[in-house]
Amino acid sequence: MSTPNALDSVRDSSRAASASARTASAQPAAATDARPAALEYASDVAFTETVKGIQTERGSRRSYEGMERSTGGFPREISAELAGYIAERDSAYIATANAAGQPYVQHRGGPPGFIKVLDSRTLAFADFTGNRQYITTGNLAENERAFLFLMNYADGERIKIWGRARVVTNDAALFERLADPTYRARVEQAIVFDVEAWNANCPQHIPRLVHVEKVEAAVSALRSRNAYLESLLRVAGVPFEPANVQ
């Protein structure tokens, strides 16, 4: 998602997916569906009655009620646009809480696309060996509720994903699907994330940051171009002061 309007595309898909999910939620659930009972609106995972009360007090509730009536709230399924956004991410934050409600946020990273879309409601990623504190692992053993926060600092984009997660430690086929042979890290386990709702957040106050590799590539290209132009000036005998491109 490198174009300026990329997040608009995800937002559009969010609204379309919300409307589709609202229609689907009105149908009887299949007997084999082991997911938790659906909320009236997917956005209720975030908009609790307390939250709605504060929205009412501060004047924003009416607009969110309009969203809920028109689209069913947040989408529940992963759209093609969201899948494309996820495929470009090399970094994410996962939030969990233990049984007592103590929250914890952990950064997870890998090669671009390390988070895989397994199906329209499921994500998964390889959990590489780290400092072996196992806080996220322990939290998920007590409380499966989890949250993913995906940032694209370069383009000022962010995606919020609510759901339930579990740790998988003995599935060789899944590990193979999630591993990247070019990435030098050992897969210790996998995190499988069942999506309950997602939302494309506003871009306000996001600092614009770019990968150092992209900066180095741009500077390298600039040095090469500058050296070529200076060579033309030398051949033409035109005096110039050499540029100092750091």
What per-residue confidence (pLDDT) applies to 29?
Answer: 38
Element at 140 (helix H, strand E)? helix 135-142
- Asked if 85 and 42 count as a contact pair (C-beta separation under 8 A), the reply is no
Each residue's pLDDT tens digit in the chain (246 positions)?
A: 444 445 666 666 665 555 554 544 444 333 334 445 568 999 999 999 999 999 999 999 999 999 999 998 999 999 999 999 999 999 999 999 999 999 999 999 999 999 999 999 999 999 999 899 999 999 999 999 999 999 999 999 999 999 999 999 999 999 999 999 999 999 999 999 999 999 998 888 989 898 898 899 999 999 999 999 999 999 999 998 887 766
Q: What is the pLDDT of residue 203?
A: 85
User: Closest by alpha carbon to 78, among 142, 156, 26, 20?
Assistant: 20
Determine the 3-state secondary structure of 124 from DSSP: strand
Structure confidence at residue 241 (pLDDT): 86
> Quick one: pLDDT at residue 6?
55
DSSP state of 42: G
CA distance 177 to 123: 12
Helix-helix angle 61-71:6-25, to 10 degrees: 70
Q: What is this structure's pTM?
A: 0.79
Would you state the pLDDT for residue 17? Answer: 56
Half-sphere exposure of 89 (CA within 13 A, CB side): 25
Q: What is the largest CA-CA distance in the chain?
A: 83
Other CB atoms within 10 Å distance of the CB of residue 222? 12
Rounded Cα–Cα distance for residues 194 and 18 (Å)? 17
Residue 148 corresponds to which tokens in the numbers above?
Answer: 């993913």
Strand order in the sheet with 91-97: 103-109, 91-97, 145-152, 157-168, 187-200, 122-128, 115-119
